[in-house]
Amino acid sequence: MKKKIFSGVQPTGNLHLGNYLGAIKNFVELNNDNDSECIFCVVDLHAITVKQDPKQLKRNIRETAATFLASGIDPDKSIIFNQSSVPSHSEGAWILSCVSRIGWLNRMTQFKEKAGKDKEKASIGLYSYPVLMAADILLYDSTHVPVGEDQKQHLELCRDIAQKFNNDFLSPEFLKVPEPLIKKEFSRIMSLKDGLKKMSKSDPSDLSRINLTDNKDQIINKIKKAKTDPMPMPSEEADLSKRPEAANLLGIYSSLSDQDLKRSINEFKGENFSKFKEKLSELLVNKIEPISKEIEKLLNDESHLDKILIEGSNKASIIASEKIKKIKDLIGF
């Protein structure tokens, strides 16, 4: 039986290498897997849990869709759409929020991190968005969900919600309980300026990340200026525990070249960082520059992008609205 995959990316703009290696590269592999049926969503409803500029949000939605396509996701094989265009997501989130429990949401660590010290000023949407995430997944009978370590807790909540709904309405297995697909090695890419901080678009320094829209010269310059330590390249994996920047750059190299960390270490052990950085820059340019150029090309043809999103939304709506109809029947609407 084919795996049914659902995953989404927020349209935050300026998607970077961390997004690519942590999620999108894996999406492409799943798209090309004949044993998987994939739905990839631009989760714009999640994006408005914090204030957005409307014009920029519209551009970011298109840019995220363009990044999916430029990276190699085929809209003829996978469904690509933006979440707000399928009303069943909002409807499903409300219904599931009536099944969810406040105690479950209170345990979500990501809300505490994103809300910061002044939780009273955070939006209700930011607090309850894991329930919307559950609706996203459960509406499509997803069997597997690619998640990073930081989203694993939200998938556990999704599983709890599905099981409680099934129990409450005496319908075992009506809502499919999804399994996580966690790509453990190299899925968490760190800042180029600090190996202990996650690569992020919110970092004020553009030198901290490789943007998927960066050109060749920008990529080379950023790797040249990436933080390292004064020691030669490590000889063993154990050496990396106290060398976060070396671990991060070797992880990036390994992921881009589809080889394990041990092989990458053996390839460069004892050498100067300058030689390794040249190889890493070359690899990044070969992998990222074509994506950057294709994103630019796609963004110059908005009607083509919008057509793909509309077609994807139509396909997603058929599946999601049918599931919502069955949910309503169960609860007595």
Mean pLDDT for all residues in the chain: 93
Amino acid identity, position 78: S
**pLDDT (tens digit per residue) in 65-113:** 999 999 999 999 999 999 999 999 999 999 999 999 999 999 888 787 7
**pLDDT (tens digit per residue) in 188-202:** 899 999 999 999 988
Share of the chain above pLDDT 90, in %: 82
What are the residue numbers of the active site? Answer: 114, 198, 201
Indicate the domain borders of the chain: 3-187+302-331, 206-297
**pLDDT (tens digit per residue) in 103-149:** 999 988 878 777 777 778 888 999 999 999 999 999 999 999 998 77
With contact defined as beta carbons under 8 Å apart, do 210 and 222 qualify?
Answer: yes
Is residue 248 predicted with pLDDT exceeding 60? Answer: yes
CA distance 317 to 214: 35
Is residue 322 predicted with pLDDT exceeding 70? Answer: yes
**Please, which pLDDT band fits residue 309 given cuts at 50, 70 and 90?**
very high
Q: What top-level class would CATH report for the domain 206-297?
A: mainly alpha
Is residue 186 predicted with pLDDT exceeding 60? Answer: no
Q: What is the pTM of this model?
A: 0.92
CA distance to 250, 253, 259, 280, 319, per residue, from 266 (Å): 11, 13, 11, 15, 49
Which two structure tokens, joined as six digits, stand for 323?
């599931």
CA distance 227 to 277: 11
CA distance 252 to 261: 10
What is the mean predicted confidence (pLDDT) over 32-40?
96
Domain 3-187+302-331: give its CATH architecture. 3-Layer(aba) Sandwich (3.40)
CA distance 139 to 203: 35
Query: Residue 131: CB partners within 8 Å, gap ≥ 6?
Result: 93, 96, 97, 100, 105, 157, 161
With contact defined as beta carbons under 8 Å apart, do 215 and 292 qualify?
Answer: yes
* Among 12, 13, 29, 10, residue whose Cα is nearest residue 73: 29
Give the CA dihedral 215, 221, 225, 227, nearest 10 degrees: 30
